[in-house]
Amino acid sequence: MSSFRNMALHTDLYQLTMMQTYVQKGLQDQKVVFDMFFRSLPFGNGYAVYAGLEQIIDYLTELAFSEEDIAYLESLGFKKKFTELLRNFRFTGDVYSMREGEIIFPNAPVLTVEARIVEALLIETALLNIFNHQTLIATKASRIKQITGKKTTVDFGARRGHGPQASLYGARAACIGGMDGTSLVKAGNKFKLPVFGTMSHAFVQSFEKEEQAFMAYAEENEGNVVLLVDTYNTLRSGVPNAVKTAEKLKERGKTVDGIRLDSGDMAYLSKEARKMLDRSGFPDIKIAASGDLDEYIIAELENQGAAIDMYAVGTKLITAFDQPSLGGVYKLVEVEAQGKRNPRIKLSDNIEKIITPGRKKPYRIINSRTGRVEGDYITLADERVPEKGRNLLLFDPVNTWKQKTVEDFEAIELQEKVINKGKRIISRPEIEEIRSYRETALSRFWEEHKRKKNPQVYYVDLSADLWRLKHKMIEEMRSHFLKQQS
């Protein structure tokens, strides 16, 4: 059972007042389509990593109002006719989504909801809350892991997350994005993530001597002995005491597995520590580093030739330090009336904010010759699948002169149905599966899209039919308002 069970009230008040209005006016069964997407990439990155789908599915499939919820809403003044509907309220719609771990881009619908208007409205807050949080952390983790490569890289952020839920689901998202594990035991247990840990300064301080702390710990934690060496003086005390501990353990056929650096110049200290450990006959003792790290500092350390085997990142990962929100949105794109599906649009002075109307399908266009991704291509849902063997014209929907033709391609549909009439219809993947899906998906992108600074902008294009529909609707709206003014 997930902790997303009691989330019916995890919604903004206006959803409920609007829902009440539909119920009072008898409009609650109107079928609508909403798209969830985001508008710009976080951290100046070239892509984002989709995370949170499992929690979205749990939330939707377990959505129910308790008697206490209903009593509270009545105390706020909601009418009986409306609260009666809430008593048996369930999400009964269909949901289409990209796979969790997918590499995602601005303006492509990541998840699409087809449901009764009252259901589709209620869920906006929770859907965005889950998506915005986990996708942001997964993307940050992916940036970090791209720098650390094969070196074990773990989440140490639990104490610095914005509350227990953020640390827990942040650890999950971090592992989807690329972290190899977490220090948070609850996340390890709940999501089957590898857990990692060393020792704290308090532990070292609590003993008379550093060496005693190391020895006591080593005796009781065989197989996971990582000694924190910076409490007093890294090179004069910590590392020599770690060597002494390793020598004593060796006599008993046991080992010290690693040391952890947590302050000072970690490039210099790691290189010196490496020399000392090697000279003393302990080339297998690994060096871990932590302390205010992020992808930028780690890149610096790697450039300086730091002898670090493992990185731990806390605050800057779990809080997505340099960008507090993804800014994902959930927008109405179609309304059914008298059995007819009508696309809907929302205008904006900012052309990039004008919603692409209609029920759509996003595809990823893979160049068959190179195996690499060329761009995303969004069609209307009832358009034919872009055909292999034909030339496909990709053009930027805003700057339409930016075009390219892909000759030999495969179009992979990005969304699949995950909920049918309120019931989950996909299996529950392990985090390991989601992680490796993300890894394979990312490997199909050109390095230009993956670099940390000024990545190449990725094409998210509209089919010609969709583009025409959008512009026809914009024109119709504009001329309608012009007529009204004159």
Ligand X SMILES: O=P(O)(O)OC[C@H]1O[C@H](OP(=O)(O)OP(=O)(O)O)[C@H](O)[C@@H]1O
Ligand Y SMILES: Nc1ncnc2c1ncn2[C@@H]1O[C@H](COP(=O)(O)OP(=O)(O)OP(=O)(O)O)[C@@H](O)[C@H]1O
Closest distance of CB 228 from ligand X, Å: 7
Closest distance of CB 268 from ligand Y, Å: 7
Check if the beta carbon of residue 435 is closer than 8 Å to that of residue 100: no
Closest distance of CB 401 from ligand X, Å: 45
Per-residue contact track with ligand Y, 301 to 340, x per CB under 6 A? x--x------------------------------------
Closest distance of CB 197 from ligand Y, Å: 19
Q: Which is nearer to ligand NIO, 197 or 264 (CB)?
A: 197
- Count of alpha carbons within 13 Å of 234, Cβ hemisphere only? 22
Is residue 167 at the binding interface for ligand NIO, with CB under 6 A as the rule? no
Is residue 83 at the binding interface for ligand NIO, with CB under 6 A as the rule? no
Q: Which of 188, 197, 327, 422 contacts ligand NIO by CB under 6 A? A: 197
Is residue 314 at the binding interface for ligand X, with CB under 6 A as the rule? yes
Is residue 291 at the binding interface for ligand Y, with CB under 6 A as the rule? yes
CA R_g for the chain: 27
Q: Which is nearer to ligand X, 290 or 415 (CB)?
A: 290
Is residue 263 at the binding interface for ligand Y, with CB under 6 A as the rule? yes
Nearest to 87 by CA among 110, 71, 108: 71
Q: Which is nearer to ligand NIO, 160 or 444 (CB)?
A: 160
Q: Report residue 281 as tokens.
A: 């006959």
301 contacts which partner out of ligand NIO, ligand Y, ligand X, none, CB within 5 to 8 A by kind?
ligand Y
Is residue 4 at the binding interface for ligand NIO, with CB under 6 A as the rule? no
Q: Which of 198, 234, 241, 463 contacts ligand NIO by CB under 6 A? A: 198
CA angle 86, 88, 90 (to 5 degrees): 85
Is residue 313 at the binding interface for ligand X, with CB under 6 A as the rule? yes
Closest distance of CB 55 from ligand X, Å: 24
Is residue 429 at the binding interface for ligand X, with CB under 6 A as the rule? no
Q: Which of 81, 87, 192, 201 contacts ligand X by CB under 6 A? A: 201
Residue 436 CA, chain-centre distance (Å), reads 14
Is residue 89 at the binding interface for ligand X, with CB under 6 A as the rule? no
Per-residue contact track with ligand NIO, 314 to 343, x per CB under 6 A? x-----------------------------
Q: Report residue 140 as tokens.
A: 């940050």
What does the binding site for ligand NIO look like in residue numbers (CB under 6 A)? 156, 183, 197-198, 314
What does the binding site for ligand Y look like in residue numbers (CB under 6 A)? 263-267, 291-293, 297, 300-301, 304
